Amino acid sequence: MSLAVWQFTIAALLAVLAFDLALAIIRRNKETTMKEASLWTAFYVGAAIIFGLSLSRWGNAQSRNEFFAGWITEYSLSVDNLFIFILILARFQIDKKKQQLVLLAGIAMALVLRGIFIALGSAAITRYSWVFYIFGAFLIYTSYKLFTEDQEKEWKEGKAIVWLRKRGASSLTIVLVAIAFTDLIFALDSIPAIFGLTKDPYIVFTANAFALMGLRQLYFLLGGLMGKLIYLNEGLSVILGFIGVKLVLEAIHGGGTHNIFGIHVPEISTQFSLSVIAITLVITIAASLARSSKSKVAE
């Protein structure tokens, strides 16, 4: 993309962040209602869909498919990130009046960290094709950890939080540090995942930006869904594992190898990737809601 397009995109993003900050400050003493959260979430999701569809007009169909595959994946990871935010804010009993600003700070930190990792990742894959092996292996390992981790296990404070607590840091300070560490961990997952779907830095950046937009409002919408999306980790595990395998296959092709022991190494298209991601999420949500309904009836 041209420099002008980049400048316009970044300016628009900063304007949205400034608007969201102003809104959070103005409404810091008011509780966000479900109706308000639903309307804002619908607005941001609609904006992402319109942007993605418009790419086929001034970009191309490939860019559109890459954006939607990346945005859906990053949005799913952002929702998982948001669940951790919910746990942290509940753990430290942060006043609802302060949650608005804490959430916005967390989202801003996530955007900055992902921006840094996007720049580093783009530079790395441009110079070294073998980086795909590292990205792929990391995603496959993350997939395994997500699938095997115990969701019922209570969240524990890290060493940095314990250290801050011993030195008399306020709950608000500890929460901001905890959210910053959470953002860092999720950035390490999300950037290899998106580079497994597209190599275009502009698509990578915009997919992440749209995935982070409106998370403050989505937080208040998701509070009641934490106990219902019980298979979210398994769904994300399948998606990240699939992208990890896709990256390894691309690395093999990038090294000039197209056949192993006489077997052709398959190439996975963006359209197929988008289908796998969408179908996995639909099955994940449907299975989670069905299981939650059965549990409710049993109770």
Query: What is the model's pLDDT at position 297?
Result: 57
Mean pLDDT is lowest, of 41-50, 58-67, 91-100, 271-280, for: 91-100
**What range does the domain containing 71 cover?**
3-298
* 62-97 tens-digit pLDDT: 888 899 998 988 888 887 777 777 777 777 777 776
Asked whether the predicted pLDDT for residue 16 surpasses 70, the reply is: yes
Phi, psi for residue 129 in degrees, rounded to 5: -70, -25
Query: What is the model's pLDDT at position 298?
Result: 60
Asked whether the predicted pLDDT for residue 205 surpasses 80, the reply is: yes
Q: Give dist(CA 6, CA 14) in Å, integer.
A: 12
Query: What is the model's pLDDT at position 105?
Result: 79
Query: What is the model's pLDDT at position 204?
Result: 87
3-state secondary structure the chain: CCHHHHHHHHHHHHHHHHHHHHHHHHCCCCCCCHHHHHHHHHHHHHHHHHHHHHHHHHCCHHHHHHHHHHHHHHHHHHHHHHHHHHHHHHHCCCCHHHHHHHHHHHHHHHHHHHHHHHHHHHHHHHHCCCHHHHHHHHHHHHHHHHHHCCCCCCCCCCHHHHHHHHCCCCHHHHHHHHHHHHHHHHHHHHHHHHHCCCCCHHHHHHHHHHHHCCHHHHHHHHHHHCCCCCCHHHHHHHHHHHHHHHHHHHHHHHCCCCEECCEECCCCCHHHHHHHHHHHHHHHHHHHHHHHHHHHHHC
The amino acid at residue 201 is P
Query: What is the model's pLDDT at position 288?
Result: 84
Q: Which two tokens stand for residue 280?
A: 């996995």
- Please give the DSSP secondary-structure letter assigned to residue 24: H
Q: Give dist(CA 179, CA 88) in Å, integer.
A: 8
* 108-163 tens-digit pLDDT: 788 788 888 888 888 887 777 778 788 888 888 888 887 887 655 555 666 767 77
Give 283's pLDDT tier (boundaries 50, 70, 90).
very high
Decide which of 82 and 242 is more confident. Answer: 242
Diameter over CA atoms, the chain: 67
Query: What is the model's pLDDT at position 296?
Result: 60
Asked whether the predicted pLDDT for residue 292 surpasses 80, the reply is: no
Query: What is the model's pLDDT at position 227?
Result: 62
Q: Give dist(CA 197, CA 208) in Å, integer.
A: 13
Environment class of residue 181 by beta-carbon count within 10 Å: exposed (0-12), middle (13-18) or buried (19+)? middle
Q: Which among 130, 246, 145 has a CA at the least distance from the CA of 189? A: 145
Query: What is the model's pLDDT at position 184?
Result: 79
- How high does pLDDT run on average in the chain? 79
Asked whether the predicted pLDDT for residue 251 surpasses 70, the reply is: yes
Q: Give dist(CA 108, CA 257) in Å, integer.
A: 42
Q: Angle 96-127/215-222 helices, nearest 10 degrees?
A: 120
Asked whether the predicted pLDDT for residue 190 surpasses 60, the reply is: yes
Q: Please, how many CA atoms are within 13 Å of residue 231, restricted to the half-sphere of its CB?
A: 16
Number of domains in the chain: 1
